Structure formats: structure tokens, C-alpha cells
Amino acid sequence: MSLAEVGIVYGTVPWVWMIMLPGGQAGAAPGRMSLVPLRDLLTILTDGGPPTAAVQIVGNLLVFAALGFLAPLRFAALASVPRILALAAGGSVLVEAAQYILRLDRVSSVDDVLLNTAGAGLAALASHRWWRATGWE
């Protein structure tokens, strides 16, 4: 159980720390928000090219992946994919709101929320076999 807790913290905090780092115009630039689903993702794919898009997408998928993989193993109440999705979506919305409110010179995007949540859900599915072993499902 302790290893799962350590894995959740060490697998999630560095990603959250990284996405909370301020940009060059932090504090001076107004907060930017993108609430149209898939708009930023399509822009990254078309303007950024494959390497940039891959880094952005994979990075966002990994933000809450450790949480999605290990939380159901540690906490019986989280041993379901819908609960992991709700937890990851809530955490992601909080991070995006903090980026906007703190004016970190970052774009708060619904696409980031979707990708963060999808990453946690995919990781939860990857650990599903072990949930059954605990009998928590």
C-alpha cells in the first residue's frame, strides 16, 4: 500500500509541477483560456508538426497516469474507471483553473483536461487486472 502511495505522489507531482511553471510573461500577460474541445489539439497537430504534437499529447496523457494506475490499487473506493475519470477530470480542472487565475502565461485548455483525464483512464484500465486480485472491484 505504501508503494502505491509513493508511486502516486512521485508519478504525479513532477508533472503537475512542470505544468505550473510560469511562462516568460507570467503576471503581466492576461490569462488565456480555450474552451472549444479539440481546437488546441488540432492546432498543435497542424502547426506544431509531429514531434511537437507527440510531446504535447504524450505529456498530457502522463500527468495523471500514475494516479490512474495506482489509486485503484491503494484505495478501494477508487477501484472503478468512472471514479478515476472523475478524480482525474477534477484534478485537471483545478490545475487549469490555477494556471488561469495565477496568470502563469499559459493557456488553460479543455483539451488538456480531456487528455489528462484520458491518460488516467487508460492507466486505470492497464492496472485493472490487479484490481480484481484485490477483490475491490
pLDDT of residue 137: 62
In the chain, the percentage of residues whose pLDDT exceeds 70 is: 98
pLDDT of residue 27: 83
Spell out the residues 6+ positions from residue 100 whose beta carbon is closer than 8 angstroms to its own. 31, 32, 33, 108
Average confidence (pLDDT) over 7-21: 96
Helices 81-101 and 110-126: crossing angle in degrees, nearest 10, is 150
Task: Give tens-digit pLDDT for 82-137.
Answer: 999 999 999 999 999 999 999 999 999 999 999 999 999 999 999 999 887 777 66
Q: Is the pLDDT of residue 63 over 90?
A: yes
pLDDT of residue 125: 96
pLDDT of residue 133: 75
Give me the sign of the Cα torsion angle 108, 111, 117, 122. negative
Task: Give tens-digit pLDDT for 23-54.
Answer: 888 888 888 899 999 998 888 888 877 788 88
Task: Give tens-digit pLDDT for 67-80.
Answer: 999 999 999 999 99
